[in-house]
Copies of this chain bind each other. A is one copy, B any other.
Amino acid sequence: MFAHGNARPANVPSILGGLTATPSSFAISEFHYRRGTEIYGEKEPAEYVYQIVSGAVRSYKLLSDGRRQIGAFHLVGDIFGLENAETHRFTAEAIVDTTVRLTKRMSLERVAHADSALAHNLLVMTTSNLQHAEDHMLLLGRKTALERVAAFLLEMDRRLTGVGVVALPMCRRDIADYLGLTLETVSRALSKLHAYGALNFLGSNQREIMLVDRDQLAALDT
């Protein structure tokens, strides 16, 4: 079908369960999205919380003329769509065929009052998202193309937990829109890193990347 390496057998932590009301009152169900399909849109009411069982998702904002900024990629095990406002602030789309577990979102107020441990979890996750966004602002505002791509590879390496090989689920355009670049610039940066001996391409479609010299990448990440 489609070579996206993160069909990791679902030893997915069951964090999501903690975000529902008592397990008896709301069921957790699985849902499947085909690649390219929208899961929810920006400004739509936030009704569910999602956790990825397999696949990958992109969250993005659009400008009126179509320019796109991807704020985050969600990979296996990640929770997304967790707003505490009434509406989503991003559009979420399946990058590849994706299975999610979803559960009806409780209103923030009820969550916070119902269970303090749960409220704590909510805060930890929000803070984690905030931290990622803060780091990404530095990348988008001040790093060069090569530095951005190196940082991206290291992030994916860390999060995909591959055995030395990063199997990217997303295309060059997605990477570009995540890094504030164009797809050509991303491609050129990858070629340059290949020429430097920092990485090797494995798959036929250039999405499987072996990080040969992590130190060199880390040095570029500054």
Contact = CB atoms under 8 A, between A and B. Distances in A.
Interface in A163-200: 177, 179-180
Given A65-B222, A123-B112, A222-B65, A71 B134 contact: yes
Copies of this chain, count? 2
A185 B15 CA distance: 46
A134 B134 contact: no
A63 B147 CA distance: 11
A109 to B, nearest CB: 7
A149 to B, nearest CB: 14
B142 A137 contact: no
Contacts of A138: 61, 63, 69, 71
Interface of A is mostly: helix
Nearest to A122: B123
A126 interface: yes
A130 interface: yes
B141 A89 contact: no
Contacts of A69: 137-138, 141-142
Contact of A71 (B112, B137, B179): B137
A106 interface: no
Nearest to A132: B133
A5 B137 CA distance: 28
B108 A123 contact: yes
A136 interface: yes
Contacts of A133: 130, 133-134, 137
Interface stretch (A26-34, A113-121, A205-213): A113-121
9 contacts: A63-B222, A68-B142, A108-B120, A112-B116, A123-B123, A126-B130, A140-B180, A141-B177, A142-B180
Q: Which 9 A-B pairs have the closest CB atoms?
A: A141-B180, A133-B133, A140-B140, A112-B120, A69-B141, A69-B138, A67-B142, A130-B130, A140-B141
